[in-house]
Amino acid sequence: MALISVDRERGLLTAELQGLDKLWALKSRLEIPLAHVRGATHDPGMAREPKGIRTGGTYVPGVITAGRFRRDGERSFWDVKNPDKAVVIELADAGAYDRLVLEVDDPRATVALIEQAIAHR
């Protein structure tokens, strides 16, 4: 699971991976400039979409998807065990990733936080 926070002063969206997710994803923290965040949606169905080729991390179908994946030239970062809590964050010109798919405790609140942050940048 990831904890999402927004630092408006520094203009950053931060995803802090929790517990063993750090191990599975081979990453503990992501920092994305708010200027590169296009939007966020609560999308439980995303977990059923093809992930592409895993370039680092862990993938056990139906159990955990964590780490970096590449599909049709698109780079994504995943940290999902429970698809019902999946939030998709679309990025533009973000460098390492085009999309983040993260499991969060409260998907609706997380989407609202991100949408509010990008509306006021």
Identify the structural domains of the chain with CATH numbers, from first to last: 2-119 (2.30.29)
- d(CA 30, CA 53) in angstroms, rounded, equals 20
Q: What integer pLDDT is reported at residue 94 of this predicted model?
A: 60
CB contact at 8 A, 92 and 38: yes
Q: Which segments in the chain show pLDDT lower than 70? A: 94
Q: How far apart are CA 39 and CA 87, in angstroms?
A: 10
Instruction: Write out pLDDT tens, residues 43-60.
Output: 999 988 999 999 999 999
Q: What pTM did the predictor assign?
A: 0.95
* Residue 36, token pair as written in the block: 């590169």
Tokens describing residue 43: 């999308």
